[in-house]
Amino acid sequence: MNVIATLPDELEAQLRAELDAIGTARGGAGVSDDYLRFWERVARAQAKAQAAIRGNRLAPPTPERPEATGQLTAAEAAFDDRLLLALLEEVAEGAPDQEPGEQAPALLNAAWEEPDLLRRLATAATIGGDARPLQETASRLDIPSGNLLFLVQILARPFLVEARLRRPGSTEHDTRMLDTASGRCPACGAHPGLAVLRTGDGARRLVCLLCDETWLAPRLMCTSCGTRDQEALATLHVAEDDPRWIEVCDACHRYLKTVDQWRMTEADPLIPRAEDARTLHLDLIAEREGYVRPAL
């Protein structure tokens, strides 16, 4: 079945660019083919889900209100039981017998038994910011809660991206400078998945890997705990000239992967989710050094 051919032009172009970018990571240090194949399958399934959300108008349009700039609401996200299940079925299909997708079949079995499970988890894990339903389900299914969160965020993403795109002015990226103590995504409340030093002015642009929002933040600030104490902030480099590194915080022991767009070549366009997948080796280094990626 040619999944890509059924997508609207814009989603198809995005998916092709993402698959190309994931493909460039093949053979890179610390990145297994299984891992990249998993992300390719996820990207295809998510693009299809986005097309379904748009095409079926499963979600009501966001009411025209000038203040529609705060966090997305559950009504805007409009998580749909059947579509969440269909997406999980595709993600679970042929999931490798190792991380990251290994728990998908267990979650799928539970979702078949309990039709609103995925919607409850997707809401709690994203805009709800409530870890309890995830922890309860993880312990009931006897799977690590971090792995469950990982899967639920994959399922929630197409809904959050589409909900954000329905908002007026949603394409005006990078216009907001974050000036609060929280480094979280202004649209969905997630921790940023990546920081990019923007070409041109070198501004620090944070990227949400859940809803694709981008926003600006001060250069020297932990986006997890908000500290600006320079004593607590450090970087981990693989090589001095590598355009990708890790920014760590010794106040909260969390980290953020950072890409310097200045040092990237034209032929190497930055596609945030592909960038996240290809820098798995940086996650492993950060974890080995005792830092964790912020979860909820």
Residues forming contacts to Zn ion in the complex (CB under 5 A) are 185, 187-188, 190, 208, 210-211, 213, 222, 224-225, 249, 251-252
If the CB atoms of residues 22 and 160 are measured against Zn ion, the closer one turns out to be 160
φ and ψ of 258, to 5 deg: -130, 140
Q: Say whether 111 sits in a helix, a strand or coil.
A: helix
Minimum distance, C-beta of residue 163 to Zn ion, in the bound complex (Å): 10
If the CB atoms of residues 107 and 222 are measured against Zn ion, the closer one turns out to be 222
If the CB atoms of residues 141 and 232 are measured against Zn ion, the closer one turns out to be 232
If the CB atoms of residues 224 and 279 are measured against Zn ion, the closer one turns out to be 224
Give the list of residues 6+ apart from residue 180 with CB closer than 8 angstroms, or none: 226
Q: How many residues are present in the chain?
A: 296
**Distance between CA 150 and CA 153 in Å, rounded?**
5
Minimum distance, C-beta of residue 44 to Zn ion, in the bound complex (Å): 21
Minimum distance, C-beta of residue 130 to Zn ion, in the bound complex (Å): 16
If the CB atoms of residues 108 and 191 are measured against Zn ion, the closer one turns out to be 191
Contact 162, 54 (CB under 8 A): yes
If the CB atoms of residues 111 and 210 are measured against Zn ion, the closer one turns out to be 210
Q: How many CB atoms lie within 10 A of CB 258?
A: 19
In this structure, the strands spanning 204-207 and 194-197 are antiparallel
Minimum distance, C-beta of residue 91 to Zn ion, in the bound complex (Å): 20
In the block, tokens 């004593």 appear at 231
Minimum distance, C-beta of residue 250 to Zn ion, in the bound complex (Å): 8
Minimum distance, C-beta of residue 28 to Zn ion, in the bound complex (Å): 27
**Distance between CA 69 and CA 186 in Å, rounded?**
8
Q: Which two tokens stand for residue 17?
A: 């660019």
In the block, tokens 């929002």 appear at 213
